[in-house]
Structure 1
Amino acid sequence: QCLESGHQAIVFLNRRGFSPSVRCAACGAVAECPACSVALTEHRGQGALRCHYCDFHRAVAIPCPACGSAEYKRIGVGTEQLEQSIDESFPKARVARLDRDTASGDGVEAVLDRLRTGEIDVLVGTQMVTKGHDIAAVTLVGVALADQSLAFPDFRASERTFQLLAQVAGRAGRADTPGKVILQTYQPDHPAVRLAAQHDYESFYAEEIRDREEVGYPPFTRLVSVRVHAGAEADARSATQLLADVARQHQAVADGAVQVLGPAPAPLVRLRGRYHYRLLLKSPDRKLLRNVTAHLAARIDQGLPPTHVTLDIDPL
């Protein structure tokens, strides 16, 4: 209906590439980056599997390192595959893609100029398509996998999901013609998804602030993130455990005024060949939290296993 009426559409998916991962059809092994604990993403246009963190890449069509099979299965959908699917479903539509693989620098504005002048009917893209573009003819916005960011292990995951969905939804109906937003989600009742679809900022804030207070996260507490990385996992793990033990010896922790969470591997435990562990300090008392942090800093100055340590106060 949107295309038949001469309007334009934006389809948002925050995953680059053709498929987020590929699996051996014979043994099930997933192609992984040798330097990072992540799956390699297939980029069909480049004929490569690529790591989005360290940029390692290799050819797609090589035998499986585990069993030698040359057959593999694609897992998931990226913007490249979504663009192809829309192009096949709407052969008369002019479909384009905007992500880091297709545009950078001035190239971003070149694609957006084509959208503004009506040379593009459907624009598929990552977050590049969400950033404040005011295009009157865009009356339909689709969001694929709208809830995927909720799985990120961060207390702000709901807030960031709501913010992103509200931002991308705001691209539709910027002029006199009413806009329509379609969210594809496995969690339609999640407050971040449901209330973003309703543009209900106040209700989302009320729910989110209540949940934060119940579990003791900002703005009701202050945080210090202790991040440790090393070339050897044993060094990263032992240094983080040592710092956790030192923190727990402080009187403020013993009294329960400062909470120590961890140590634990980071969500991406291996990144660019280094192993990452972390520790979290949490307290409503800023002064006591600062004292425990200073206690840790003094121990770090005395020397640790060969590691790099970052103390991040009020991490974003």
Structure 2
Amino acid sequence: WLKLSQRATDQGRPPIEILDGTLAAPGQPLLPQSLHAIKHCVEQGNQALVFINRRGYAPMILCQDCGWQADCRRCDSTLTWHRSEGSLRCHHCGYQQRVPPRCPECGSSAIHEAGCGTEKITELLEQSQQAPVIRIDRDATRRKGSLDAHLATIQQGKPAVMVGTQMLAKGHHFPNLTLVVILEMDAGFLSADFRGPEQAAQLMLQVAGRSGREGKGRVLLQTRHPDHPLLQLAASGDYAALASDLLEERKMADLPPFGHLALFRCEAMSMGKAMEFLQQLAGIPLPPDVHLLGPVPAPMERRAGRYRTQMLLQCAQRAPLHQAISVLLEQARTLPAGRQCRWHLDVDPIDML
């Protein structure tokens, strides 16, 4: 267990202030406190970072009259509006289409965006701030050399506001960055994946660590769930306490590191074929210490036009788990249903979704 007891620059950890994001005005994702802090930061000749781990202008568009929303034709996901490109794009399979001028369902022109991404935050800040606004995400840095050019501009130390995704979360040293505003971190703490809160807390603390590396720093966290106990623990900076709570939960549920997992994933052109294969596997006798959960549809049932199912194996010891895996793999290679789908086994899965 390797502990980092101090920061690389010997500066103290910047405090994380929690702001109630439900008080934000419609169409303005940044609270007045955040906007005031950004303005004060650049007026003092420093730099600020607005972190939102979501590309595009808005994660979805919808009709205010009938409730229609732009969904991907190949995935169980909404299409993200990339306003600068004039397109709707799926971030899971890459499907694209143009933004419809009217609602395809009712013909209404009352189509509006919901939520925000880096594009929208950049546009709003350009309207309200006097300093340059620099957007750094995968879309804005697609051209060769563009990322290096943006980083070189920031390293000059002149007042600026950065808007970025996890590309800016770690590995960067910005001496004049004294303010970080963090948006849209709630999803990780509410994730169906048991590792969601752990990963969200790590990302939050990594982003917060960009602030005040050579002076006094400040971090503002906007959240719609300010009373969430895990989020409050993460914001306090006491990662050891957060880890202790999460480990206690995992111990009660026999989840890693107190138990071991293996995940069978299957996908096919129909849900029936994908489910049939795993159901046949589920009927094979296994060692008594191995618990089988499923098969069930994956959290995102359809991706890239294929239906996805999964079956989880759980055991406190490795030996019975690998014995069960050997039996299932031997049978899976001979089942006719396996030839009508794609399947694979993920031992110690990192992603449960």
The TM tier, using the shorter chain, reads over 0.9
Q: Do residues 145 (structure 1) and 184 (structure 2) align?
A: yes
Which TM-score applies when normalising by structure 2?
0.83
- The answer for unaligned runs of 5 or more in structure 1 is none
Q: Is the CA contact 1:226–1:280 (under 8 Å) kept in the aligned structure 2?
A: yes
- Residue 178 of structure 1 is aligned with which of 213, 216, 240? 216
Q: Which amino acid aligns with 1:263?
A: P
Q: Is the CA contact 1:96–1:120 (under 8 Å) kept in the aligned structure 2?
A: no
Residue 63 to residue 238, structure 1, CA distance change in 2 (3 Å): farther
Aligned residue number for residue 345 of structure 2: 311
Q: Which amino acid aligns with 1:129?
A: L
Q: Do residues 100 (structure 1) and 138 (structure 2) align?
A: yes
- Residue 133 of structure 1 is aligned with which of 160, 172, 185? 172
Aligned residue number for residue 197 of structure 2: 158
- CA shift at 1:191, angstroms? 4.4
- CA shift at 1:119, angstroms? 5.0
Q: Which moved more, 1:261-270 or 1:183-192?
A: 183-192
Q: Is the CA contact 1:2–1:8 (under 8 Å) kept in the aligned structure 2?
A: yes
Q: Identity across aligned pairs (percent)?
A: 39
- Measured in 2, the distance between the counterparts of 1:263 and 1:22 equals 33
Aligned residue number for residue 30 of structure 2: none
Q: Is the CA contact 1:94–1:121 (under 8 Å) kept in the aligned structure 2?
A: yes
Please give the per-residue CA displacement for 1:213-263, whole angstroms capped at 9, x wherever unaligned.
1121100000001100111221112212222222xx22x2xx3x1111121
- The answer for unaligned runs of 5 or more in structure 2 is 1-39
- Measured in 2, the distance between the counterparts of 1:238 and 1:26 equals 41
Aligned residue number for residue 117 of structure 1: 156
- Measured in 1, the distance between the counterparts of 2:75 and 2:185 equals 26
Aligned residue number for residue 319 of structure 2: 287
Aligned residue number for residue 187 of structure 1: 225
Q: Which amino acid aligns with 2:344?
A: T
Residue 185 to residue 234, structure 1, CA distance change in 2 (3 Å): same
- Measured in 1, the distance between the counterparts of 2:43 and 2:205 equals 26
Aligned residue number for residue 79 of structure 1: 118
- Residue 272 of structure 2 is aligned with which of 226, 231, 234? 234
Please give the per-residue CA displacement for 1:146-192, whole angstroms capped at 9, x wherever unaligned.
222223321101110111001000000010x1110000112334344
Q: Is the CA contact 2:51–2:207 (under 8 Å) kept in the aligned structure 1?
A: yes
Q: Is the CA contact 1:61–1:70 (under 8 Å) kept in the aligned structure 2?
A: no
Q: Which moved more, 1:188-197 or 1:124-133?
A: 188-197
- Measured in 1, the distance between the counterparts of 2:343 and 2:240 equals 39
- Measured in 1, the distance between the counterparts of 2:88 and 2:133 equals 24
Aligned residue number for residue 275 of structure 1: 307
- Measured in 2, the distance between the counterparts of 1:111 and 1:304 equals 54
Partner of 2:267, secondary structure, is strand
- CA shift at 1:193, angstroms? 2.2
Larger RCO, structure (CA 8 Å, separation 6 or more): 2
Which TM-score applies when normalising by structure 1?
0.93
Q: Would you identify which runs of 4 or more consecutive aligned residues in structure 1 move more than 6 Å?
A: none
Aligned residue number for residue 31 of structure 2: none
**How many residues matched?**
308
Q: Which amino acid aligns with 2:139?
A: D
Q: What is the root-mean-square deviation of aligned Cα atoms in Å?
A: 1.6
- CA shift at 1:120, angstroms? 5.8
Please give the per-residue CA displacement for 1:93-123, whole angstroms capped at 9, x wherever unaligned.
2111111110035322221111111356100
- Measured in 2, the distance between the counterparts of 1:112 and 1:196 equals 28
